[in-house]
Chains A and B, each alone.
Chain A
């Protein structure tokens, strides 16, 4: 059964670059706890770092929810009530950025994800990323 963000194992409020580090460290710990390898846990921590940074950069504040779905998948949900992503397709293109970045963050996360979904509108953005254990 696919779980959602309703009952997360870890929930981190994101409003600063310190929170980004807290979120990725908690994500790494959860990944190791549920049996991901150290390499995979580092990859998951990097993905969380990208998602959480985007919250700070584009929405100012939001939250990261992390959950073990019980079937070998770690779900990472980044949720904010920011202005939304004007062009989701463009945001997933390598090299595209509206903030002066290199446009490597979100495309990289999508590349490593087994589940990847973005819901974005004027009421906010929710990015859901799932990663299976190998």
Chain B
């Protein structure tokens, strides 16, 4: 299932609507990295509120995505990790080290606005 990617100002918002397969996750990563250049984006928000599970592959792909986008000169924020998903990630020893996270879309946008003011 393709994830819709919306453009709002100089921010791209990927709003995950349902459970994603590994294939979907890799497609999302590649689509975002490509669109960051195409739209001259400063920030990317990945809203994972609807993601049922973040396992080792999902956490790795989210990390890769954020690092690739940083190399393209933009910041990424992962928003909407649900409490049960956070619990499972910690139990399984999974981390999103060096990746910005925020409670929800609103907080994510505020984070990117602050990050852009700093440069």
Contacts and interface: CB of A to CB of B under 8 A. Distances in A.
A18 B94 CA distance: 22
Given A17-B21, A28-B52, A43 B87 contact: yes
Interface in A25-50: 25, 28, 38-39, 41-43, 45-47, 49-50
B88 A25 contact: no
Contacts of B56: 50, 101-102, 104-105, 108
B71 interface: no
Interface in B10-39: 19-24
B55 to A, nearest CB: 4
Interface residues of B, number: 24
A20 B93 contact: no
Given A39-B84, A49-B55, A102-B56, 16 more contacts: A16-B21, A17-B21, A17-B22, A20-B21, A21-B21, A21-B52, A24-B19, A24-B53, A38-B84, A46-B54, A50-B56, A53-B22, A105-B56, A108-B93, A108-B94, A111-B92
19 contacts: A17-B23, A17-B24, A20-B21, A21-B21, A24-B19, A24-B52, A25-B19, A38-B84, A42-B53, A42-B87, A43-B92, A45-B88, A47-B92, A50-B55, A50-B92, A94-B93, A101-B56, A101-B60, A111-B93
